[in-house]
Structure 1
């Protein structure tokens, strides 16, 4: 049992900690054991920090696993650069400190509201328990500490991350992978990281970049998905990389750097200028090898880039000829890593009539799904901080049902958190999981669609092979897979399928299998045109009623009953506006009202900020609304092919689900 107090080997005074901060730490010593303390200057600012070892009582109540970091900063205006120092301490003492939770004492009187706001804006923020210095001049500071701990635990949804992880607080199961790519970089090798959408590739790349920065080594992260990059021609892209690299280095490891880069990036001189700039940067930071990280590589890949010059022109050839030539000529200057779904970039020998400059230059590495142990670490550790105690069997269910796909598993756990009683800690039983399984599957359908659609749209042969396996068409599966090992090796690499000891293939992620089965049912269910009419009409009419209710409720919430009508009528053309002006809001949005489907779309798109939390993705909303309106086959008395039927039903289902979630 851990006792409270300050460890005999710890002297706050000898550690250089001022009297005021000594008193504050002593208040915490009534609830924790103080095992280490120090005062330190970091980037021109003074910090005091201590390690707090939780008592058995606190461990049981808040599920603390390790010692907690307490850090003080007396400045009256809180600066988020404090978190840079927190990251540094977490790295240096990673074997001792709880990486998810920090106690922050600040001279800023408004620190509590600032940290609350920060957590709302950035859900990936650590659990920060904020205190102002003034809190410790009030009566009974120990009671304030207890209340603050209770207030800042349990409430946040620590599973609900949809964007790549940008710090190590919630980064699980990938440490060995980061080390693998770091070793490649140190030895001057180039590398490639591939895998399914949302599996965590970008999170690994961010972690790799942080790993380098903590060692004062330099990397630039290029998101090829950004139009700011893939819309540039090959020579402009090289200039973009050199400028981004210099900015990254100045902002992260060498703020004192002052060098001028070339502006001569014409097609004729771009390769030479890029080489000169890379050498200039390399020499200015002490000769450490640089790392170029290219994420979402499909966006600058021949045949599939959204920009024509990468797809059909020679930009891919010229870009990689330049990088390969400079890399081979200048040992120790830089190495690079490319990441995407599929290693097409490095597995295609000929592009048109030209040799691929990076063909076989890199051996692809596929990012693995989580095993049972990884899932257990992530779910139980994060769940502990939220007061959720998961049955051991649930870990097995999550691993099997979602194949160890970390993003899908976190989304399920997030839904469990939202639907579990507010009284915490709470037990999440295997019986509850089984009862809610269909509900979880529906909740994840959009995410599974996102994962599968990449194969369907970009790599149709791989999707076709997967579909045959799901449907049990083993002859077709064997026929396609025998044509090329590449296709089946990709599916194995993605961890979508696995091979048993008796050479039989199985789909590894049940959620993907069920999604494909459901989509196949949709495609084969409607033989007669009358059946198609009836199905689309019913779903569309139901959706339109729900959209009217969503719009009416949103208007009333924002403008009140009196002003709602006039605000909505602003988007209606003058002739119809006069007629609608004689009706009240309920009449306007009733079944017999003159509000059309396109009116609803027009208002929501124009006032997207009011509806973003409901429909999330504006581009998807507008495409799906357009499909739902265009494919009114009952109105136009026309047939619809199976593919368009499937897409239309998917659009109607997606829009209906978003409305239902809001109207619930």
Structure 2
């Protein structure tokens, strides 16, 4: 039997088995990379539209190969792209004859950003009931709640779309806007969404300044202003609508730089938007460059002068600032000098989402995962997580992992998930909230005492101004003086127990001091907790950096192979059919460090000297709590120093 006949037969079997579920409206055969594929456009019934949370036709790909290759995924994505919106962009069905194909196709699809529902002909094409269950199980095995980085696409952007569109429109009129908020509240996501809106819906030019980059916060005022000016000039010369800042290596004269910036602005001829993200890195409270205590005033005094001159000349010049704190834009003087940025930037906070938006987000994500979350259950999750979208999704991900796929689709009630929410807060939520709070109080120390008093039930002693700011950050609940939700309360409790003020307590232990058993236990627990947090963050960092590099080079299908290349060949075979996330999750500390070392070119700007980084990682690998090694107070001091070294470099990404 010819390959073409086999392909048609398999599509016929699917069409028969899917009666009542799908209607094949179009079918064709196509050659791709020396292979032959069958295609069908399947129109879902109302039942399947609800079960799979889709509203467009689904691509059905037929591949008769007994050993599936990644080109099947490439072919499916090409066909979806060429359909011009007719087909679902987030999923496709693949009919195949490879006994190991289900796991391979599913994992390759996830790495490429698409849900592949693989169907092995002998298993799932008996009747419509068997096919429906197979499709749902395949789809529901994917965690739709979990998200690791900023988003801007419609599939993942919830609750703030109108806000982003409104800000994009206002920035066309020469305004200064800000987007402030606690870590992981969605600042970078909304900035990305705004940039997407202004590029697709408006005729303007944007320059993006990511202040968390080493080559940006390492500049002085003149250098930063010069870099912005030259980047704008480059964008004009190359007729670009968007450009990220390119740091200047020369030492410019400030007055000349300001004049150059004004001259370039006159040539733009359309609205110009200057966007600062992670602006806290170039303020007097910068955790990385103390020179900004002096340079902050200089930079904003000159940028303000350029902005005002542009306004007088009729040039549309807008500024968008995103970061954690507007504190340094509100103080009257810095280092005894009048603050040039005073009241220049409005205090506009990205507050937690409204309850209705949180509930809608959770219910939609749950429906895709086969979890029909009722309103009371969704409200419980939203309340526990303080209506923080990232926190709510992490809680939803925990619940998703603890409900068997075999039960879905199923209804999720408040009574069923209440114990899960409580457990999540204890096991994961408190640590997530603690990191966000620690970062906030490091860049805005004055709020720590105010939050402490509210936590202790002494809110009456806190000024209304401080309470208003805490409410805008989402730390206080509504108009009350109590902390917002279980996660916020638990995170603040962990922060208070582990700190004296803001920074971690590193007790000075005199040489030769003999600690009691309880004190040794506390030391072990403290360093163990910090080490586990660092390891988890390194794991996420490695995955995100490698994925971004693969996406930039167009080699996303090679992501898994790059990750597992550092393990022995026998172990590599075991990991070959996993997703990139699953493979990284199985790495131990030494595997992660080895992978960073191999891909050092990606991490050099973050970690600095490779030899120093590796030495600190070797020290951290001496797990006194797990390896039963002899250790004295000096060993613990060295261990804490190495942890602090890695923590400080990771904090640059916050």
TM-score of the superposed pair, with normalisation by structure 2: 0.64
- Do structure 1's residue 510 and structure 2's residue 486 form an aligned pair? yes
Give me the whole-angstrom Cα distance separating, in 1, the residues matched to 2:158 and 2:111: 22
Q: CA deviation at 1:440?
A: 0.3
Question: Which residue pairs with 1:214 in the alignment?
Answer: 200
Give me the whole-angstrom Cα distance separating, in 1, the residues matched to 2:76 and 2:175: 34
Q: CA deviation at 1:253?
A: 6.3
Consecutive unaligned residues of structure 2, counting only runs of 5 or more, are 1-7, 27-38, 62-70, 95-100, 243-247, 501-506, 508-513, 537-562, 572-587, 601-605, 608-612, 648-654
Q: CA deviation at 1:172?
A: 0.5
Q: CA deviation at 1:213?
A: 1.4
Give me the whole-angstrom Cα distance separating, in 2, the residues matched to 1:604 and 1:530: 34
Question: Which residue pairs with 2:368 in the alignment?
Answer: 385
CA contact (8 A) 1:197 1:454 kept: yes
Give me the whole-angstrom Cα distance separating, in 2, the residues matched to 1:71 and 1:274: 54
- Do structure 1's residue 235 and structure 2's residue 222 form an aligned pair? yes
Superimposed CA distance per residue, residues 544-579 of structure 1 (whole angstroms, 9 cap, x where no aligned partner): 9999xx9xxx99x944999xxxxxxxxxxxxxxxxx
Give me the whole-angstrom Cα distance separating, in 1, the residues matched to 2:90 and 2:448: 42
- Do structure 1's residue 335 and structure 2's residue 325 form an aligned pair? no
- The DSSP-based 3-state class of the residue aligned with 1:365 is coil
| Aligned match for 2:139, one of 133, 146, 153 | 153
Question: Which residue pairs with 2:48 in the alignment?
Answer: 58
Question: Which residue pairs with 1:372 in the alignment?
Answer: 355
| Aligned match for 1:530, one of 516, 522, 547 | 516
Give me the whole-angstrom Cα distance separating, in 2, the residues matched to 1:220 and 1:117: 37
- The DSSP-based 3-state class of the residue aligned with 1:382 is helix
Return closer, same or farther for 1:247/1:380 CA change in 2, 3 Å cut-off.
farther
Question: Which residue pairs with 1:461 in the alignment?
Answer: 446
CA contact (8 A) 2:371 2:410 kept: yes
Alignment of 1:325-364 (within 5 A): 325-364=308-347
Question: Which residue pairs with 1:298 in the alignment?
Answer: 280
Return closer, same or farther for 1:546/1:414 CA change in 2, 3 Å cut-off.
closer
Pick the structure with greater CA Rg: 1
CA contact (8 A) 1:157 1:414 kept: yes
- The DSSP-based 3-state class of the residue aligned with 1:101 is strand
CA contact (8 A) 1:197 1:451 kept: yes
Q: CA deviation at 1:129?
A: 7.0
Give me the whole-angstrom Cα distance separating, in 1, the residues matched to 2:83 and 2:130: 28
Return closer, same or farther for 1:235/1:395 CA change in 2, 3 Å cut-off.
same
- The DSSP-based 3-state class of the residue aligned with 1:170 is coil
Q: CA deviation at 1:445?
A: 2.7
Question: Which residue pairs with 2:466 in the alignment?
Answer: 487
RMSD: 5.7
Q: CA deviation at 1:625?
A: 3.5
Return closer, same or farther for 1:333/1:371 CA change in 2, 3 Å cut-off.
closer
Alignment of 1:183-262 (within 5 A): 183-217=169-203, 218-242=205-229, 244=231
- Do structure 1's residue 312 and structure 2's residue 294 form an aligned pair? yes
Q: CA deviation at 1:400?
A: 1.3
| Aligned match for 2:421, one of 399, 415, 437 | 437
Alignment of 1:98-117 (within 5 A): 101=90
Give me the whole-angstrom Cα distance separating, in 2, the residues matched to 1:245 and 1:144: 59
- The DSSP-based 3-state class of the residue aligned with 1:222 is strand
Q: CA deviation at 1:413?
A: 1.1
Q: CA deviation at 1:204?
A: 0.7
CA contact (8 A) 2:185 2:388 kept: yes
Alignment size in residue pairs:
521
Q: CA deviation at 1:521?
A: 5.2
Question: Which residue pairs with 1:592 in the alignment?
Answer: none
